Each structure stands twice: as C-alpha cells, then as structure tokens.
A and B are shown apart, each in its own frame.
Chain A
Amino acid sequence: MKLVTAIIKPFKLDDVREALSDIGVQGITVTEVKGFGRQKGHTELYRGAEYVVDFLPKVKLEIGIDDGLLEQVIEAITKSASTGKIGDGKIFVCELEQAIRIRTAETGVEAL
C-alpha cells in the first residue's frame, strides 16, 4: 500500500477530489497548510508598515491506496491540480505499512 501526500493550491481542491473519485479513490484527508517552494510570497500593507508574507496557503491531501492504483492517482492529481503557473504544488509517495478500519477492525487493502 502507498500513502500519497499532495500539496496543492486551495482552489484546486474540488477538481482534484472529483478526479480521484472518478478513478475509484474512496477516502481523502484534507488539511489546510502554509508553505512555500519557489513561489514568492506577497506584500501586505498596514498603515505604512509593509510585510512580506512568505508562507502561502495551500491544501494538503493524504490518500491511502493500493499499489496498483498509484500511477492513476498520480496522473489524476497532476492533471487536475495543475494550472501551469508556479506554485502548483508537489506529490510525495511513501510506503504505507498498515491500514486499519476502526469500526470493523479490517486490515490491509480491505481497510482502504
């Protein structure tokens, strides 16, 4: 099993969610995060005091999937989250050692 973590632009969340549903992903966890990569921040002005805000709001998705689905998931996220402009985000893939459904105690791929 794999744990796929994707950092995307917040307004792309709905598109990504739809794309993942279309390929059969049944669960996602979403967190609001801040971050930066190569995208520069913006300035804010308050009574003559200018601040450079480096951290930009992003959305993080975490998805547990079966190994077989990995390529499709990566393609779905990449296509739906992309705007072509700097700051589109990143996808990280980790090995997922175990998954358990709390209600039924199912483990492994059945729990995803």
Chain B
Amino acid sequence: MKKTSSGREVRAGRRTWTWAVIAMLAPVLALAQEEVPTLNAGDTAWMLTSTALVLMMTIPGLALFYGGMVRSKNVLSVCMQCFAIACMVSVLWTVYGYSLAFDTTGMEAGVLNAQSFFGGFDKAFFAGLTTDSLVAAIPESVFACFQLTFAIITTALIVGAFAERMKFSAMLLFTGLWFTFCYAPVAHMVWSGDGALMWDWGVLDFAGGTVVHINAGIAGLIAAIMLGKRNGYPATAMPPNNMAYTMVGASLLWVGWFGFNAGSAVAANGSAGMAMLVTQIATATAALGWMFSEWLSHGKPSVLGIASGAVSGLVAITPASGFVGPAGALVIGAVAGVVCFLASTKIKRALGYDDSLDVFGVHCVGGIVGAILTGAFAFPSLGGVWSPGEGATIASQLWIQTKGVLFTLVYTGILTAVILKIVDAMVGLRVVEEDEVQGLDIALHDERGYSL
C-alpha cells in the first residue's frame, strides 16, 4: 500500500523490524503468519505535524513571499489567490482529486494502461476511508491530507507567474482545471506506485521536484507568456512593496519545507532525518550561491536575492531529499543557487517574458537542476543513501531522470496552454487595462491592503 517513491526501500526496512519484534515475542503472541499493517504512533505524529507545516508553506508562507514582491496595490490579490486556492483545491481533492492521484485499481507493475496516467474514481469523496484505514503505518486520513497540502502549494505557486494582471474568476477556473488535468495525473504518474508511468520508469522524485516544481514552473512560464506582460513592463519600475513580508514568507517556506521533504518519508525515521539535514544544507548553500552571484554581478547583495536563493535550493533538493547525502546537497545547492539566479535575472531579461515572480526561473529551473542531479548524487559512490537496483548506473539513472523532466515539461506545457485558451474563451484571462492600472485589490476585491 506504500505510495512513496522510496516505498520499496522503506517497506523492506519495516518488514525486517516487524519480523524481529514478532520473532522475539513469538512464545507470547498468538501465531502471527502475515505482516498486518499497524499504526505507528511516532510516524503518525510526525506526519500530522508535516501536514500542518506544508499547509503553512502556502498560507501564509507563499502569500507573504509573493505578496511582498508585488506592488502595494496588488498585495491583497496575491493573498486572495493563495487562500482561495487552498480552499478550492481542498474541496476538489475531496471530491475526486485524491482518487485521481492515488487510486491504484487496475494498476500492475510494468503494465501500461490508462491507469498508468491517472487513477479512477474508487476513492472519490474518500470512499472507503475510515479512521482505521492505513497507508504504510499512518492513517490514510493523514496521508490524504498530507498529499492535499502538496496539491495546494503546487497550484498556488503558479500565481507568481500571472500576478498583478489575471482575473480572479479566470484564476479559479484555470486552477480547478489545471489541478484536475495536470497536477493529479502527474502526481499519479510519479507517485502512485507500480504500474504508474514514471514510477515504472524508475524516476526518483522524493518530495515533488517533478510533481510540484517542474509542473508548476512550466505552467507558470506558459501562463506568463499567454497572459502577456504587465502594463508598462519592463520600462516601468515595479519594485516590491514590502521586502520584510517576502523575507518572512521565505523563512516560513524554509521551515515548512522540513515537513515537505522530511515528511515525504511518510515515517519518523532515519530517512526523514537525512531528508531534513540535506534540505538545510542545500538551502543554505543555494542562498549563498545566489547572494554571491548577485554581489559579483551587481555589486551589492540583496535580501530578495538571498531569499530567492534559499527558495531555489529548497526546490532543487526536493526530488533529491530522500536519496542524496550531505555532499550531494552541497553540490545541488550551489548549482541551483547560481543557475536559478541566472535564469531569473539575465536569461529572463534577455528572453523578454514577464514571469512576474520567477515561477519558471526558480521552480522549473530549480526543479530540473534537482531532478537531474538526483540521478547522480543518489548513488552511494557520490555520497547518496539510495540503494540502486541491479544494473543501475549513474548514466542510466540520469537518462531516466531526464525522461521524467522532458515528459512533464511537454505534458503540462501543452495542457496548460489548452486550459488557458479554454478559460480565455469562457471568461477572459486578463483584467482590463483600467483595472490593472488601478490595482487588483480595489478593482477585483474592493479592498485596500494598507490603510496608512
């Protein structure tokens, strides 16, 4: 029943311990022939906590991180988008999302069928989920809620790309459709287990480098291009309205990410511990990487730079967190910090698209860096903690990781464009120029962010 990409490895460990305990108590216990999944209180406590941490990453983490970066007339629109997405995705997850992502009916290792791409409706409305249902050693309710927080933050991340110019109604429609056709299927393909497309390929994605970051990142790029540049970009100055918010938001993201990465071990064990440690290492290294790059390039280090660097490190270590060791984390962090800096500054400016808050530059590019490097640094020869299967080599795994990246870019890229076209036809994507100039807070919500 294990649903994580590290499933096989952890399951083996669990079985060994279970048998050891049973063997020791054999004279006392009744005959125990088969391993019965039982609830582990430690794992459950940790996963309950992780779920809360990951939700915090969106509200208020992302809301503050993004909110501080937009102009003051749009600060509430960002908060509204993040909050509304958290609510809407929760409902959709309940109705059919969890089922679409994690229903495994009809799936078989190595068999390619429709269920390799998306789950069925057997778990719609959480059918069959009771207080006693388990996934691994935790209640299924906790697992489902934990995964829900991932769905929430993935869809909320895209907000950064179309900030300051998208209609609220269009955003809700887009998010609902994108969650259905892009998030749930990709989560299914990478994480649902044997028979899933990318799981069977052997793609390593511990906590969502592909499912969350490359997915949201490419959607962000497509959205930024299709919605068009903000009125006056790039000639008009559009400085962040509250860098202190952004820094607080980035900090909440960092702390919450321990739940994101270490929680993806679905257990309170050594794997979670290592995931937490490598997360910290990569994040700090990436933050410094961006900071020094900016210092060299512009002459002064900035708060926005170091905060963005930290986020890029968090993104890059996400797929790697359960597989790499500290050495790998240092490399992944350093590369992500510098590469994402270039992607979000020089390259973005050179190519001319208005990805307002660098969803592509940080999340897609960072996710790609992390996903690819995971293929190398997971190996024990490079300090990794993964147990490669027979015949697996760095070269072969690098190719598998690349396949996963390319598939997601194409799949989500195309579908995002289609969904945006549909939503545009239904309600129109962008606000009118007058509303954009006045500011979305007043124009769309009749509210003022700051009454100073």
Q: Is the CB of A49 within 8 A of B349?
A: yes
Among residues 51 to 89 in chain A, which have CB atoms less than 8 Å away from a CB atom of chain B?
Answer: 51-53
- 18 sample A-B contacts, Cβ–Cβ < 8 Å, listed by A number: A44-B237, A45-B294, A45-B300, A45-B302, A46-B239, A46-B302, A46-B304, A47-B304, A47-B305, A47-B345, A48-B298, A48-B346, A49-B234, A49-B345, A49-B349, A51-B237, A51-B239, A53-B237
Chain B's closest residue to A52 (CB) is B237
Expressed in whole angstroms, the Cα–Cα distance for A44 and B308 within the complex equals: 17
Q: How many residues of A contact B (CB 8 A)?
A: 10
Encode contact with A along B322-352: 1 for CB under 8 Å, 0 otherwise.
0000000000000000000000111011000
B412 to chain A, nearest CB (A): 24
For chains A and B in complex, what number of residue pairs have CB atoms within 8 angstroms? 32
Interface set, chain A 15-54, CB cutoff 8 A to B? 44-53
Instruction: Check B240 for interface membership: any CB of A closer than 8 A.
Output: yes
Report the bound CA distance from A92 to B69 in whole Å: 39
Contact among B237, B240, B349 with A48 in the assembled complex (CB-CB below 8 Å): B349
Query: At the interface, yes or no: B358 with Cβ under 8 Å from chain A?
Result: yes
Considering residues B237, B308, B358, which has the most beta carbons from chain A within 10 angstroms of its beta carbon? B237
In the assembly, what is the distance between CA of A59 and CA of B219, in Å?
A: 46
Which residues of A lie under 8 Å from residue B345 when comparing CB positions? 47-49
Chain B residues near A46: list those with CB within 8 A. 69, 239-240, 302, 304
Q: How far is the CA of A50 from the CA of B239 in the complex (A)?
A: 9
Residues of B within 8 A of A48 (CB): 298, 344-346, 348-349
Which residues does chain A contribute within 8 Å of B302, judged by CB atoms? 45-46
Cα A50 to Cα B299 with chains together (Å)? 12
CA distance A75 to B305 in the complex (A): 46
Given contacts A45-B302, A49-B234, 9 further A-B contacts (CB under 8 A): A45-B294, A45-B300, A47-B358, A48-B298, A48-B348, A49-B238, A49-B345, A50-B298, A51-B237
A42–B294 alpha-carbon span in the complex (Å): 18
Over the window 212-248 of chain B, the binary record of Cβ atoms lying under 8 Å from chain A Cβ atoms (1 yes, 0 no) is: 0000000000000000000000100111100000000
What's the Cα separation between A45 and B348 when bound, in Å? Answer: 15
Contacts of A50 in B (CB 8 A): 298
**Nearest-neighbor residue (CB-CB) of B347 within chain A:** A48
Q: Considering only CB atoms, which chain B residue lies closest to A43 in the complex?
A: B298
- By a CB distance below 8 angstroms, the chain B residues around A51 are 237, 239
CA distance A52 to B236 in the complex (A): 10
Q: Name B124-156 residues within 8 Å CB distance of A.
A: none
- Whether A47 contacts B298 by the Cβ 8 Å rule is no
